[in-house]
Amino acid sequence: MKITSIRADGFRNLKEVDIALHPKLNIFCGSNAQGKTNLLEALWLCTGERSFRGSKDRDMIAADGKKLSISAEFEDNRRVQTIDYAFSRSDMKNKKLLINGVSMKNPSELFGKLRCVIFTPEDLSLSKGSPDNRRSFCDQSVSQLKLSYRNVADKYKRILEQRNLQLKLIASGKSDDSMLDIWDIQLAQMGAYITMLRYNYCKKLNSTASALYEEISSGAERLDIVYNSTVYKELEGRIDYKGDLFGEYYDKLTGSRADDIRAGFTIHGVHRDDLLCSINGMPAKDFASQGQHRSIALIMKLSQAYILGEEMCDPPCILLDDVLSELDAARQSFVMNKIKGMQVLITCCDSSQLNHTEGTVFTVKSGRVSAEK
C-alpha cells in the first residue's frame, strides 16, 4: 500500500494542503500545534476508522470555516485508487464521499480500502493501561482483516447498553427477569462470534509478537500474549460459534443474572475480556518495568502491521505520530528497521533526530505543508 498524494483543506487548521508522497519515507516536521497530527488524522479518516483522538466529526471542521475536504490517492498491489471525502457544518449527516470517483452513501464503505496502522504516544501504554485499550486494539486489528466485524462489535455495544438498562429496571422493581432473554440471546450470538475472531487473532499476534520480542530483547526475554475470556475456560479448537460457543455464552449470561442485577451491569462478556501479556511467564501488568511495557506496546503495534500485511498480501502504510521522540535510540532503530519495506509517514519536531538517507521531509507551519527542497 502506497499513498501517492494527499489533499486537505478546512480540516482543523489545515489549509490548501496538496502534497505528493515519497513511496518510502515521509517526515513531517514543525513546531508544536502547527498541524502535523491533524494531517495524519485527516488521512486516518480516509481509512473509515474513527478519529484516533476520539474527536467528533463536527470538531474536525476548521473553527472559522464551513466545510472540510480530504482527498487521497493510493495504490495497493492491484490498482490505483482515490478517496474524496467532504462534509459541511450545516449538513453533517450528508457526507460527500467518492471512492474511485463513485459516490457512496455510507462512510463505512471506506473500510478496507486504504490500509494504515497508526502509532501514537498513547499507544505506548497499550500493555500498561486499561483493558479497554487492549480490547480496542484487538477490535481494530480484527476489523481490518474482517470488514463485517465492526458492525457486529458496534451492535454488541448497543445491545449491552439495553441489557444493562434492563438490569437496573429489574433492580428497581420496574421489570422482571423474563425481559432479559431477548438481550441474552443476541449478546450470546454476537459475543460468541466476537470471541472466536478475537481469540484467533490473538494466536497470530502471539506468534508474531513473541518472535519480534525475542529480537528486541536479544533473546533474553520471552513475550506471550493470550486472550483471556470472562466467559470461556477453554477456546482452543472451538469454532462452532452458532452452536456450542453460543450455548456456553448464553448459559453464562443466564447463570449470572442475579449477580448482574445486583451489580447493575453485565459482569461477563467480551466487553470485559482482556489480552494478557507476560514476560518470561510473569504477568506484565504486575511485573513489567516501564521499558518492558514500551517494548511490548511497540511490538504489538508492529505485529498489527505485519499481520495485516501478511493477510492482505500487501504491507499497510505506517503512520508514526510523535512516537520516535519517545523512544531510546535502540528502540528507534529497531522500529525503523522493522518497517523498512513499508511506506512510512512520521511526524516530529526536529528531523535531525532521524537518521535517514532517503525520503521527503515536509515542513508543517500554520496548517500549511510544503516539501523541503
Of 52 and 201, the one with the shorter C-beta distance to Mg ion is: 52
Cell of 95: 457526507
CB of 346 to ligand ATP, least distance (A): 12
| Binding to Mg ion, residues 7-36 (CB under 5 A) | 36
Of 77 and 353, the one with the shorter C-beta distance to ligand ATP is: 353
Of 12 and 293, the one with the shorter C-beta distance to ligand ATP is: 12
Judged by CB under 5 A, does residue 37 bind Mg ion?
A: yes
Of 53 and 155, the one with the shorter C-beta distance to ligand ATP is: 53
Using DSSP's 3-state secondary structure scheme, residue 136 falls into helix
Question: CA–CA separation, 93 vs 60, rounded Å?
Answer: 14
Of 64 and 236, the one with the shorter C-beta distance to ligand ATP is: 64
Task: Select the span of 37-45, 60-68, 201-209, 260-268 touching Mg ion (CB under 5 A).
Answer: 37-45
CB of 34 to Mg ion, least distance (A): 9
Axis crossing angle, helix 290-312 with helix 181-216, rounded to the nearest 10: 110
**Which strands make up the sheet holding 96-99, listed edge to edge?**
17-20, 2-9, 67-75, 80-88, 96-99, 102-104
Give residue for cell 427477569. Answer: 177
Using DSSP's 3-state secondary structure scheme, residue 25 falls into strand
Phi, psi for residue 131 in degrees, rounded to 5: -55, -25
Of 325 and 332, the one with the shorter C-beta distance to Mg ion is: 325
Instruction: Say how many CA atoms lie within 13 Å of 257 toward its Cβ.
Output: 15
Q: Which residues of 222-249 are buried (b: 16+ CB within 10 A; e: fewer)?
A: ebbbbbebbbbeebeebeebeeebbebb
> Which amino acid belongs to residue 217?
S
Chain contacts with ligand ATP (rule: CB under 6 A): 12-13, 30, 32-38, 59, 62-63, 322, 349, 364
- From the list Mg ion, ligand ATP, none, pick the one residue 244 interacts with, judged by a Cβ distance below 5 to 8 Å according to partner type: none
Q: Closest-CB residue for Mg ion?
A: 37
- From the list ligand ATP, Mg ion, none, pick the one residue 208 interacts with, judged by a Cβ distance below 5 to 8 Å according to partner type: none
- From the list ligand ATP, Mg ion, none, pick the one residue 38 interacts with, judged by a Cβ distance below 5 to 8 Å according to partner type: ligand ATP
- From the list Mg ion, ligand ATP, none, pick the one residue 352 interacts with, judged by a Cβ distance below 5 to 8 Å according to partner type: none
Cell of 350: 526536529
Report the interface residues with Mg ion, using CB under 5 A: 36-37
